[in-house]
Amino acid sequence: MSAVIRLQAVEPDTVTTAPAAANTPPPPESGPSRASRIAGGLAAAGKAVLPPIMGLAVLVGVWALVSTFSDYLPGPRATFLAAVELFSDPFYVAGPNDMGIGWNVLKSLGRVALGFGLAALVGIPLGFLLGRFSLLSKAFNPVISLLRPVSPLAWLPIGLAVFKAADPAAIFVIFICSIWPMILNTAMGVAALPQDYMNVARVLQLSEWKIFTKILLPATVPYVLTGAKLALGIAWLVIVASEMLTGGVGIGFWVWDEWNNLNMSHIIVAIVVIGSVGLALEAGMAKLAQRFDYRHQ
């Protein structure tokens, strides 16, 4: 994918040089210099594109090699054919528990969105409070330190016991694992606020609300978005595992189901899909972070 995009990105360079050279009568030395420039551009493109292609080739090569020794692991070719079949109809519905891979991914994304959104709704304001009032941070930091290292999946039984259903329990697990980075990063952003800015607020006797909107919020947004980015990454890691345990429709359970059917080529396709979605989520968050960071405007 990225190789294709990079190649296209180089194209305008080679295109614009051509008309420029055609419009003006070429000076004697322009011929070779133009050629060398195009050659240079191609070389640069090669430098950017070749290493990732090489890395991918090594991976596929090792995979192909290993698969020849294994009875169960399908090779790249078989997997590609399986992928083509899967993606020819990603949104079929054959029953409540038999849907296309597209539906499974969307279901998982929906759970992540809900758990992550709730975590943001609770975690970001909590982070602001902890950062702003040292009494609160003294009260809650020990609790956070204790709970944060706990694997999110350890919360699944609690979720199941409280909600008595698989779906809310999975969302609860996402909520729990997303909330720590949001609280901690937001609080860190507030605590890292330079005293100078607060001095301005004090001299102006700004109201607590003005301090929040004019100083605290803009100064902290980059930290909040870093926390959100971390949280989203973790949430996407965790949803696969928790769906394996809770079942239903979702990419995690889909992987587990295919494992029960010993359909390894589908599992490999799922791995690639999970990786791509994770990459897209991260890229989206990075874009968002850049959009709202005062340092990049």
Partner 1 sequence: MTPYLQVDHASVEFRTPRGLFRALDNVNFKVSEGEFVSLIGHSGCGKSTVLNLIAGLVEPTAGGVVLNGREVAGPGPERAVVFQNHSLLPWLTAYGNIHLAVEKVFGAQETAAQLKARTEAALELVGLAKARDKRPHELSGGMKQRVGIARALAMEPKVLLMDEPFGALDALTRANLQDSLMEIQAKLKCTVVMVTHDVDEAVLLSDRVVMMTNGPAATIGEILDVKLPRPRQRLKLAEDGEYHRACAAILRFLHQGGAERGHAGAALALAVG
Q: Check: CB of residue 230 under 8 Å from CB of residue 180.
A: no
- Judged by CB under 8 A, does residue 77 bind partner 1? no
Q: How many residues bind partner 1 (CB under 8 A)?
A: 17
Sole binder of partner 1 in the list 117, 218, 233, 278 (CB under 8 A): 218
- Judged by CB under 8 A, does residue 205 bind partner 1? yes
Distance CA 186, CA 158 (A): 27
- Judged by CB under 8 A, does residue 294 bind partner 1? yes
- Judged by CB under 8 A, does residue 289 bind partner 1? no
Sole binder of partner 1 in the list 63, 80, 140, 197 (CB under 8 A): 197
Q: How far is the CB of 214 from partner 1 (least distance, A)?
A: 6
Which CB sits closer to partner 1, 101 or 216? Answer: 216
Q: Where are the alpha helices (DSSP H) in 92-155?
A: 101-132, 134-147
Q: Check: CB of residue 236 under 8 Å from CB of residue 281.
A: yes
Tell me the HSE value of 193 on the side-chain side, using a 13 A CA sphere: 23
Please state the φ and ψ torsions of residue 94, each to the nearest 5 degrees.
-110, 5
- Radius of gyration from C-alpha coordinates of the chain: 26
Q: How far is the CB of 211 from partner 1 (least distance, A)?
A: 11
Which CB sits closer to partner 1, 140 or 197? Answer: 197
- Judged by CB under 8 A, does residue 291 bind partner 1? no
Report 126-145 residues binding partner 1 (CB under 8 A). none
Neighbours of 137 (CB within 10 A): 17
Neighbours of 133 (CB within 10 A): 12
Q: What residues make contact with partner 1 under the rule CB under 8 A?
A: 196-197, 199-200, 202-206, 210, 214-215, 218-219, 294-295, 297
